[in-house]
Structure 1
Amino acid sequence: MGCGNTKVLPEASKKGYVSVVQSLVAFSKAHGDDESNKHAKKRRAPWFSTSAKNLQPASSGQQQILREGRQQDRVAKYKDKFDPRVTARYDIKALIGRGSFSRVVRVEHRATRQPFAIKMMEVEGPEGREVCASELAVLQRVRHSHVIHLMEVFQFPQRVYMVLELATGGELLDRVVSRGHFTERDATQALRMVLTGVAYLHNLGITHRDLKPENLLYYHPGADSRLLVTDFGLATFGGAGSEVSSGDHSGAETWSLRTTCGTPEYMAPEVLLSRPYSCAVDMWALGVIAYIVLSGSMPFEDDSRTRLYRSIVRGKYSFHGDPWPSVSNLAKDFIHRLLPLDPASRLSADQALRHPWVSTMAASSSMKNLHRSISQNLRQRASRSSSRCPSGNESSADSTNVGLGKLMSLEGNQEQQQGRASGRHPAIGASTPSN
């Protein structure tokens, strides 16, 4: 629903559907930047965001005045685009993000002065209407402490305005780095909140389809903040349960769960292989997230999109290098159970919450501080990402589709050879990662 068969696969952590709250974080980190610099940095940024102090040196008073003037001009420009019935209730403060069919602004309620974010979506065209209808259908259904909350909606023929709660506590990985001390118990506290939100969504029959650290945001900067699942631009109804259906299908629900979409490094094998899939794709993504949170590195990573896809569909990952020797076997088992190639073998969100590592809050695990190794791995990956030449990466829509096409051809040939004797596709086997 949120993306069609022709939708371009978003770049890992660079592109994708604009998240209201993720855009807020980008704004709060670099509010002094002018808009063009902000978006240029976002296009170049690696999946791990650096802190605002690393983005640019302190500005002079004159530069600050100029920036404030430009910001006021932009606010006035976007105020003019808002329907008066919206601005009568909300005071427009700043533009904090933009997408293909949307603009996101930070606002204050005129009566309570409480801050919110408004996502203004253009719905004149059929594609914009489809994206808006899909996201709105999901957001109007959900109400959970660990899921971003839709406050109210203004609907007009040309535009729809979604008022959402504002999360100002930063992304999951930014919080991990800023803590200075991070253990397995800290990891389970964060993952438990995410799993609770995801279990709620799955029980409603909602598949998120784009879970990643950038879409997991803390509501406020305090240590006791709740963690929110955000960005429902690719979410859809359908796919409840852990089994993947087979055979011929018709109808919107099965169509939506055959669509290839998401962020490549977090996409499950069945999505890459264009097979019917279920909400188990979210559990695969959570396995990747757990791996990153505990190590600062990714289980599947390659500059070549084709090689990346190949490693995912083969389930090739390992627990080599720091800090894995210091990570408990129970934590590794948790990841193993989220990353089998067979979707039916993966833990559901409810089962993951009952896994001993999560349910005991890593009580039997080492309390060793993993922060140094995690931060070092994150910095190394950020450095590699920033030093790559954009033209040398397979980042365009064409190269993405070519990479996926090569992979499908390769996997198809292998499966034909393996399944010729039985006359049908062989089942995907369980992954066999090395410890």
Structure 2
Amino acid sequence: MPVASQTLEPNSYQLLDEIGRGRFGTIFRCFSPADDSFAACKVIDKRRLSDATDRQCLVNESKLMTLLSPHPHILRILDARETDDCLSLVLELCEPDTLYDRILSRKALPEPEAAGCMAQLLRALAHCHRLSVVHRDVKPENILFDSRDVLKPADFGSGAWLREGGAVEGIVGTPYYVAPEVLMGREYGEEVDVWSAGVVMYVMIVGSPPFWGESASEVFEAVLRGNLRFPARACRAVSAAAKDLLRKMICRDVSRRISAEQALRHPWILSGGETVDLPDLKGSCISQKHKETVTVESCV
């Protein structure tokens, strides 16, 4: 892939070390001499885009991020440059470790810490949904933290605007986190992000995904069944309030699945993951293999 210095104007952004790599592009740390600041530059090789869907992903990412900014829990886009061969997106620089890395290194997170992460993620999704944007690929690998440890979802390449009536279509997402209605090939709405966020929460506090399989097809079958379980050994320390929120978010019946705004008002979120009394309730390690997910229809 060509070095991205060809895509950025001299004395504008200077590319430094590589800090990430995606399906079509590479992410570099970059420096702006104009204001003595660092950023991240996502450089996409346009020659590797195989079809119109891939190209549309690139167009959507910059437009969606511009629409959603500024917001404290949305990664800021600072600039965009394009040549015949490359598209370069200059983004807010975050820490190298993602939420996935944090879970992997610690097996699972304490509920207060997980609740803090979920509150920030839900605020970001609620903001997206108010603007009729659905992310469609919410997963720990796409969740970053800035230098102040503020959580920010990234990678809006699979994102889309909801059409009038609040629907979109297309099989997009990552097996462990994709909602069942996406796999069914139906039109769907912002509820798919809530399902995915619920799976992220489950992984944070349990240490493994709720729907498992040895292959992508087996995972899809488990997701389609949507049978949410809390194995006694892995979940003995999980609070009743956390399980209640998970049941409301990872709910196969879309009409009964709560929204991001409603999830923000759940007692588990409001209490910061502390023990709360819910009298009306119904009655482990994340592996490297889990990271090697197969994106159903990945973009950048």
The verdict on a shared fold, with TM-score over 0.5 as the criterion, is yes
Superposed displacement of residue 177, structure 1: 5.9
The alpha-carbon deviation at position 205 of structure 1 amounts to 0.6
Task: Show the counterpart of 1:142.
Answer: 68
Aligned to 1:120: 43
Give the aligned partner of residue 81 of structure 1: 6
User: Structure 1 pair 100/215, CA: closer, same or farther in 2 (3 Å)?
Assistant: closer
On the 8 A contact 1:122/1:129 being kept in 2, the answer is no
Equivalenced residues, count: 287
Compute the displacement of 1:157 (Å): 4.9
CA distance in 2, matches of 1:198, 1:269: 19
Matched with 2:222 is 311
Seen in structure 2, the aligned counterparts of structure 1 residues 160 and 239 have a Cα distance that, compared at 3 Å, is same
Partner residue, 2:128: 201
8 Å CA contact 1:206, 1:240 repeated in 2: no
Equivalent runs, 1:161-200 vs 2, <5 Å = 161-168=88-95, 170-176=97-103, 182-200=109-127
> Given that residues 103 and 207 in structure 2 are in contact (C-alpha distance below 8 angstroms), is that contact kept between their aligned partners in structure 1?
no
Please list, as runs of the form range in 1=range in 2, the aligned pairs for 1:16-415 lying within 5 A after superposition: 78-79=3-4, 81-83=6-8, 85=9, 87-123=10-46, 127=52, 129-143=55-69, 144-168=71-95, 170-176=97-103, 182-220=109-147, 225-238=149-162, 257-365=168-276, 377-378=285-286, 381-382=287-288
Distance 1:172 1:104, change over 3 A: closer
Report the CA distance shift for 1:100/1:181 in structure 2 as closer, same or farther (over 3 A): closer
Q: CA deviation at 1:278?
A: 0.5
Structure 1 residues 206, 358: CA separation in 2 closer, same or farther (over 3 Å shift)? Answer: same
CA RMSD of aligned residues (A): 3.0
| 3-state SS in 2 of match to 1:141 | helix
1:169·1:219 contact (CA, 8 Å) conserved in 2?
Answer: no
CA contact (8 A) 1:146 1:196 kept: yes
Q: Determine which structure has the larger helix proportion and give its number.
A: 1
Higher alpha-carbon deviation: 92-101 or 161-170: 92-101
SS at match of 1:139: helix
Structure number with the higher strand fraction is 2
In percent, how many aligned pairs have the same letter?
29
- Residue 213 of structure 1, CA deviation: 0.6
Paired residues of 1:267 and 1:281 also in contact (CA < 8 A) = yes
State the SS of the aligned residue for 1:174.
Answer: helix
Cα distance in structure 2, aligned partners of 1:181 and 1:212 = 15
Return the letter of the residue paired with 2:80.
V
3-state DSSP of counterpart to 2:129? helix
**Superposition deviation, residue 385 in structure 1:** 6.3
State the shift of 1:80 in Å: 5.2
Q: 2 CA distance for matches of 1:240 and 1:284?
A: 22
Displacement, 1:137? 1.2
Q: Is the 8 A contact 1:89 1:110 kept in 2?
A: yes
**Aligned CA distance change for structure 1 residues 239 and 362 (closer, same or farther; 3 Å):** farther
User: Helix, strand or coil for the counterpart of 1:232?
Assistant: coil
Distance in 1, matches of 2:219 and 2:249, equals 19
- The 1:339–1:239 alpha-carbon spacing in structure 2 relative to 1, beyond 3 Å, is farther
Residues 1:354 and 1:182: Cα distance change in structure 2 (over 3 Å): same
Q: Deviations over 1:371-400 (max 9, x none)?
A: xxxxx512xx33x669xxx9xxx96x9xx8
Q: C-alpha separation between the residues in 2 aligned to 1:171 and 1:240? A: 34
Unpaired segments ≥5 residues, structure 2: 278-283
> How far apart are residue 218 of structure 1 and its match?
1.1
Offset at residue 287 of structure 1 (A): 1.1
What is the rounded CA distance, in whole Å, between the counterparts of 2:25 and 2:58 in structure 1? Answer: 9
Q: Secondary structure at 1:322's aligned position in 2?
A: helix
Cα 1:147–1:358 shift into 2, 3 Å:
same
Partner of 2:281: none
Tell which structure's C-alpha radius of gyration is larger: 1
- The answer to whether the 8 A contact 1:202-1:240 is kept is no
Q: Using structure 1 for the length normalisation, give the TM-score.
A: 0.60
**Structure 1 residues 130 and 357, CA gap change in structure 2 (3 angstroms):** same
Residues 330 and 365, structure 1, Cα contact 8 Å, conserved in 2: yes
Task: Decide whether the 8 Å contact of 1:283 with 1:348 is kept in 2.
Answer: yes
Residues 240 and 279 in structure 1, CA contact (< 8 A), matched pair in contact too:
no
The structural deviation recorded for 1:235 is 0.5
